Chain A
Amino acid sequence: MLDLKIKIGGEAGQGMQTISHTLAHVFTRGGLHVFSVQDYQSRIRGGHNFSELRIRESPVFSMTRGVNILIALNKETIDLHKGELYEGGVIIYDGEKIKVEAHQDLLSVPLDRLAQEGGNRLYGNSVAAGAALGLLGYAFEPLAEVLRDVFGKKGTVAEDNVKAARAGYDFTTRNGHSQFPWKFKPLDDRRRMLIAGSEALALGALAAGCKFVSAYPMTPATGIMTYLAGKAREWDIIVEQAEDEIAAITMAIGASFAGVRAMTATSGGGFCLMVEGLGLAGMTETPIVVVEAQRPGPAIGLPTRTEQSDLEFVLHASHGEFPRAVLAPGTSEEAFYTMAKAFNLAEKYQTPVIVMSDQHLADSYWTIDTLDMSRIIIDRGQLIRPEETEKLVGYKRHAITHSGISPRALPGYPGITVVTDSDEHDEEGHLTEDTGLRTRMMLKRMRKEIGLAQEISPPKFYGAVNPEVLLIGWGSTYGAIREAVDLLQSQGQKVGMMHLSEIWPFPSGAVATALESARACFVVENNATGQLARLIRRETGKAVTGKILKFDGLPFSPEYVMEGIK
């Protein structure tokens, strides 16, 4: 069974991700499944960064330990990662540029010289990609095709890159290929997609009819606004870079109040600034979707690394009480559909919906079959259209109803006015200090949580039913837990996974039942304190057996999860 990993390391700016991405496309187009991760530092040049991809014939969800091919663009990469090499693995490096003591694992490929011979030393990345394929004995033509797509069919840049890649490919075919133990070929030419979490979140927003995005750049959330800004012209979306996160969320709230689907995206630090705005959306009953792409905190923390330490923050953010939904997709595929659901929930319940991401989800790429657009149904809830004049007679924006949801008209509808307030207000939306009315308005808003709770999907289960060990996770740990379950099951152990990608309102019943069905339960969380474990305890009264935690800024591997079960 094919399971091969290629790691590409070097300094920021050397193009590790370009090589990785090119190869990921080559393999995906060949009918194989790829998962790739990015590890980078908060700098534009220098430092140590790597990108890694894993290739299998069946879907792949996580990175495991061990490397088959290490492409080292600098010496540090060799020093740091040579120990990860499997027996028989090869380190591709440019021996004419990097001086190291000869070793059987090292395969010098003159990346720089071959690139210059091809016309430009900038093409060294294509040489490296070609060299990796040559080692693997994989067909060359798919790489040429990808390079032509990336660099455009016209001009010499594409062809020069193809030439450079060919030089690398030929070089390793002649040197190194025969000793290299792992070989594989394209399976078929199924047209699968390769998509990162951030792209999927952004694409999901676009498909859901989001028309307005105001955000302030912050890693690892920036990819969402970048993607949508690139589509703004073609899709008639407004993407505004706000002056700060306070403006970002309140601008989106203003746009939503005026009637368009609106969102913002940020990381934990930016979300800190958005918190009062979240309450404003709750109080004014304005739909809003916020993506919170976590990174290690507090304060600036590790800007480019991953963590899941904002769960409790997001659940409780803002003073006062109001309903909210918190969703946490586990893969890029799920991220896409989650966004569509987030916009529907926000509009149906006229309240904020927070979608949790993190660096691991945002920056990792998955091969997926496709995204099914027929599953995207836009439900704008009780939004009144201007021609529905009978619904506008005696209109009150915050009318007290059984469901707690007040039919929503928009400013500009003839004959009525739409009024709302961040102060407690009466049904018309005007400021009030009447304590009885306050109670009724609170109850009205909180009643929306009953409907909202019914919309929340139960957790996803994988692996053994009634397991000896139940591994519990949320968000981006899906892949590592799932693969840990596969490995343990293959060793004959009865292990299952419960994954929560819709966390609030909390699906207490399903979680409690699952906890009872398992002999031992472990949460797997990228944080230091086990925030989901605490939430489970609070909502179900049940304690987990143990917590498998990681908060070094790096994602879980299946092996790390397995070692944590004690």
Chain B
Amino acid sequence: MVTLKDYAGGPTAWCPGCGNFMLLRAVQEALVGLGKEPHEVLLVSGIGQAGKLPHYLRCNTFNSLHGRTLPPATGAKLANHELTVLAIAGDGDCYGEGGNHFIHAIRRNIDITLIVHDNQVYGLTKGQASPTSDTGFATKIQPEGVILAPFNPVLAAAAMDASFVARGFTGEKDHLVGLIQKAVRHKGFALVDVLQPCPSFNKLNTFAWYKERVYKLDEGGKYDPTDRVAAFQKAQEWDSKIPIGVIYTNPKRPTMEEQIHAIREAPLVKSAAGGPDRSRLERLLEEFI
């Protein structure tokens, strides 16, 4: 039986009070709860404080470039779809530098869980605005406050008919664990955008700020995440009330892997062993005669 000890990793380099600690804990608990062994899991991360997460637990890791989280995760998943693949990114990482990949990963509906540490700021580079920073958020680069409208990842994902869209909060760890487990169990691309206070650089969206606004969608039992119109409404709530939970899901979309002939029977990495058959290759030459 896999336990939390199997997922224990090395010392962290995050700031005291950072929401990332709870996020790390939630990922570990979620994987243990799912009964996944570390060798069955691949974490692909980008660059930023968020991107360091895989170094702080034990499992297969590809720590990629800034913004380039989803493409290597996609390649790895297609090469070996028996792996449980999680992409770990920052908000700048995923919605800024890697924005194009975010759009197309949703279109592919590849069975990857994307966890975005959404602290609404660039942490590692010391406090510049991120794509999700609230309008008016002042930084050293935007001293008069951000004048751009914030990117709303859950709304965009729902609009693109992403097959699983959720928002979590590091202040609600157990809830977050449940969300990550649902996302991993979901067949298809799953976004978990996680509200994560950054005590060093985001003095606007603090722990208390989130705590005041956050409420759980699944409490009360009325909300139906397959209702896209309702999802659009919920995804737009922000200023005074912020919903967390599964915002939208479309279980009907086929995954990318299901539709690829080459991996219908076995993962690509297994069918690749040995190389192509020589006599078949020789017959192929006939096409050039």
Q: Do A and B come from one complex?
A: yes
Binding site for B on A (CB under 8 A): 28-29, 191-195, 199, 203, 206-209, 211-212, 214, 232-233, 235-238, 240, 242-244, 246-248, 250-262, 276-277, 280, 284, 370-371, 373-374, 376, 378, 410-423, 429-431
Task: Please indicate the chain B residues that have their CB under 8 angstroms from the CB of A240 in the complex.
Answer: 74, 78
Task: Please indicate the chain B residues that have their CB under 8 angstroms from the CB of A373 in the complex.
Answer: 278, 281-282
Residue among A194, A257, A376, A414 with the most chain B CB within 10 A?
A257
CA distance A152 to B44 in the complex (A): 48
- Distance in angstroms from B57 CB to nearest chain A CB is 10
B62–A412 CB distance below 8 A:
no
Interface residues of B in 200-249 (CB under 8 A from A): none
A–B pairs, 28, beta carbons within 8 Å: A199-B288, A206-B276, A211-B271, A212-B79, A238-B78, A240-B74, A242-B71, A247-B68, A250-B64, A250-B68, A250-B72, A251-B72, A254-B71, A254-B77, A257-B62, A257-B75, A258-B75, A258-B76, A262-B75, A284-B62, A411-B60, A412-B39, A412-B82, A412-B269, A418-B60, A423-B47, A430-B55, A431-B63
CA distance A227 to B100 in the complex (A): 27
A236–B103 CB distance below 8 A:
no
- Distance in angstroms from A201 CB to nearest chain B CB is 14
Task: Please indicate the chain A residues that have their CB under 8 angstroms from the CB of B62 in the complex.
Answer: 254, 257, 284, 411, 420
A244–B60 CB distance below 8 A:
no
Task: Please indicate the chain B residues that have their CB under 8 angstroms from the CB of A194 in the complex.
Answer: 288-289
B39–A253 CB distance below 8 A:
no
Task: Indicate if B141 sits at the interface (CB-CB under 8 A).
Answer: no
CA distance A238 to B259 in the complex (A): 11
Task: Please indicate the chain B residues that have their CB under 8 angstroms from the CB of A277 in the complex.
Answer: 65, 68
Task: Please indicate the chain B residues that have their CB under 8 angstroms from the CB of A262 in the complex.
Answer: 75, 79
Task: Indicate if B285 sits at the interface (CB-CB under 8 A).
Answer: yes
Task: Please indicate the chain A residues that have their CB under 8 angstroms from the CB of B18 in the complex.
Answer: none
A419–B60 CB distance below 8 A:
yes
In chain B, what residue has the closest Cβ to A413?
Answer: B39
CA distance A378 to B278 in the complex (A): 12
A193–B63 CB distance below 8 A:
no
B60–A280 CB distance below 8 A:
no
Task: Please indicate the chain A residues that have their CB under 8 angstroms from the CB of B37 in the complex.
Answer: 414
Task: Please indicate the chain A residues that have their CB under 8 angstroms from the CB of B80 in the complex.
Answer: 258-259, 410-412
B72–A254 CB distance below 8 A:
yes
Given known pairs A260-B268, A415-B39, the reply for A254 and B75 (CB within 8 Å) is yes
Task: Please indicate the chain A residues that have their CB under 8 angstroms from the CB of B73 in the complex.
Answer: 254
Task: Please indicate the chain A residues that have their CB under 8 angstroms from the CB of B10 in the complex.
Answer: 430
Interface contacts beyond A253-B75, A259-B79, A421-B61: sample of 6 additional A-B pairs, CB < 8 Å, sorted by A:
A207-B281, A243-B101, A247-B101, A254-B72, A258-B42, A412-B39
Given known pairs A29-B289, A199-B288, A243-B104, the reply for A259 and B64 (CB within 8 Å) is no
Binding site for A on B (CB under 8 A): 10, 37-40, 42, 44, 47, 52, 54-55, 58-65, 67-68, 70-80, 82-83, 100-101, 103-104, 260-263, 268-269, 271-272, 275-276, 278, 281-282, 284-285, 288-289
Task: Please indicate the chain A residues that have their CB under 8 angstroms from the CB of B79 in the complex.
Answer: 211-212, 254-260, 262
CA distance A417 to B63 in the complex (A): 13
CA distance A373 to B286 in the complex (A): 13
Residue among B37, B62, B281 with the most chain A CB within 10 A?
B62
CA distance A386 to B210 in the complex (A): 47
Task: Please indicate the chain A residues that have their CB under 8 angstroms from the CB of B75 in the complex.
Answer: 212, 214, 250-258, 262
Given known pairs A255-B79, A260-B269, the reply for A250 and B275 (CB within 8 Å) is no
- Contact with B103, one of A243, A250, A284 (Cβ below 8 angstroms): A243
Task: Please indicate the chain B residues that have their CB under 8 angstroms from the CB of A259 in the complex.
Answer: 79-80, 269, 272
CA distance A136 to B82 in the complex (A): 61
B61–A238 CB distance below 8 A:
no
Would you call the interface of chain B mostly helix, strand, loop, or mixed? helix
Nearest 3 CB-CB pairings of A with B:
A254-B75, A254-B72, A411-B60
- Contact with B71, one of A236, A246, A261 (Cβ below 8 angstroms): A246
CA distance A519 to B119 in the complex (A): 68
- Distance in angstroms from A24 CB to nearest chain B CB is 11
CA distance A271 to B101 in the complex (A): 18
- Distance in angstroms from B17 CB to nearest chain A CB is 22
Task: Please indicate the chain B residues that have their CB under 8 angstroms from the CB of A376 in the complex.
Answer: 278, 281
Given known pairs A247-B71, A280-B64, A411-B83, the reply for A236 and B288 (CB within 8 Å) is no
Task: Please indicate the chain B residues that have their CB under 8 angstroms from the CB of A411 in the complex.
Answer: 39, 42, 60, 62, 76, 80, 83
Task: Please indicate the chain A residues that have their CB under 8 angstroms from the CB of B275 in the complex.
Answer: 208-209, 378
A243–B100 CB distance below 8 A:
yes
CA distance A376 to B54 in the complex (A): 39
Task: Please indicate the chain B residues that have their CB under 8 angstroms from the CB of A243 in the complex.
Answer: 100-101, 103-104
A193–B289 CB distance below 8 A:
yes
CA distance A376 to B284 in the complex (A): 15
A370–B65 CB distance below 8 A:
no
